[in-house]
Amino acid sequence: MVPKQTAAIQSNWMNGQASIGFRRLKSSLKNALLFIYAIFTLYPLIWLFINAFKTNDEIYSEPFALPNQWHWENFTRAWEVSGMGTAMVNSIIVTVLALALTLLLGALSANAIARFNFKLKVPIVGLFLIGMLIPIHSTLVPLFILMKKVHLLDTYSALILPYAAFELPLAIFVISAFMSSLPKEIEEAAFIDGTGYWGIFWRMMLPLSAPAIATVSILGFLRFWNDFAFPLVFINKTSLKTLPLSLSVFSNGYSTDYSLTMSAMALAVLPTIMIYLFFQEQIMKGMVAGAVKG
């Protein structure tokens, strides 16, 4: 009686051990593959940083090798020549403000679309959709004429406002998708508690949508930070130029100084990496945080 049970338990346990071993193997294999994939994807970034230290010559003849000498001065030259200091400040201002505007208006509208039903919902969603589908270059001329008329050219708003406007559809779609997956019960509970619409939005919907907001922040940040077309056409004053413009001084149409371009890009990429890492944390942390109580 007991021995049979023990035997059974023992064999189960041994099976368990075997399957643990097997699972460990599976998991290390999985991790190994993931690691290889990660290195592979990370390679271009690594390549950029390595090349930033090379001279033009080395870049052409040995694009994949390590530099013979580590030319730290590439960075200082790139910084000075492209006027990166001012450009970066401008980029930061424009990007942060555009992002703030996008998030605020986007979250509000997402809230409306996700949690309410009203007659004009479908047409409005359709309108926002149209905005996402047009190649931006076709709107350059009309936008230019428009901004000229309202005297917005050559200001920060010339960038901030259209950036936010164009990013709104994405923000709305992503945030509303998150919001509609939140259970209705929390809202009803809040109503019973006596909270108004604004309270629900500000204190519940927003925090719960933290992953969505972080996602939109990352995407928006990248889009605004790297955009070339709008600052090219809407901004004249050198003191207002943003980063992508300043990066293009290294080519003159016939030839490009790749080593300085790479160093400049390596510098320009650092803030984006930091922002991404910051927001990634937020996404991982952003949790249901006690709203769904038992």
Exactly one of 75, 83, 189, 286 binds other proteins (CB under 8 A); which one?
A: 286
3-state helix, strand, coil in the chain (%, to 5): 80, 0, 20
**201 in Cβ contact with 111 (< 8 Å):** yes
Site string for other proteins, 11-50 (x = CB under 8 A): -------------------xx--xx-xxx-xx-xx-xx--
Exactly one of 130, 193, 290, 293 binds other proteins (CB under 8 A); which one?
A: 130
- Restricting to residues 150-169, which ones interact with other proteins according to CB under 8 A? 150-157, 160-162, 164-166, 168-169
Which residue has 């190649």 as its token pair?
135
Exactly one of 8, 20, 29, 292 binds other proteins (CB under 8 A); which one?
A: 292
Residue type, 63: P
Considering the complex, state which of residue 84 and residue 247 has its C-beta at the smaller distance from other proteins.
247
Within a 10 A sphere around the Cβ of 245, how many other Cβ atoms?
20
Exactly one of 172, 259, 263, 267 binds other proteins (CB under 8 A); which one?
A: 172
Compute the distance between CA of residue 233 and CA of residue 44 in angstroms, rounded to an integer. Answer: 30
Considering the complex, state which of residue 13 and residue 37 has its C-beta at the smaller distance from other proteins.
37
The reply on whether position 170 binds other proteins by CB under 8 A is yes
Using the contact rule CB under 8 A, the part of the chain among 5-13, 16-24, 65-73, 203-211 near other proteins is 203-211
**210 in Cβ contact with 283 (< 8 Å):** yes
Considering the complex, state which of residue 3 and residue 253 has its C-beta at the smaller distance from other proteins.
253
- Restricting to residues 63-102, which ones interact with other proteins according to CB under 8 A? 63-64, 81, 93, 96-97, 100-101
How many helices and strands (H and E) does the chain possess?
14, 0
Q: What is the DSSP letter of 66?
A: P
Residue 140: CB minimum distance to other proteins, A = 5
- Restricting to residues 205-234, which ones interact with other proteins according to CB under 8 A? 206-208, 210-212, 214-215, 218-219, 222, 226, 228-229, 232-233
The reply on whether position 277 binds other proteins by CB under 8 A is yes
Compute the distance between CA of residue 122 and CA of residue 59 in angstroms, rounded to an integer. Answer: 53
# chain residues binding other proteins, by CB under 8 A = 139
**Sign of the torsion angle spanned by Cα atoms 106, 111, 113, 119:** negative
Compute the distance between CA of residue 260 and CA of residue 52 in angstroms, rounded to an integer. Answer: 7
Compute the distance between CA of residue 94 and CA of residue 161 in angstroms, rounded to an integer. Answer: 9
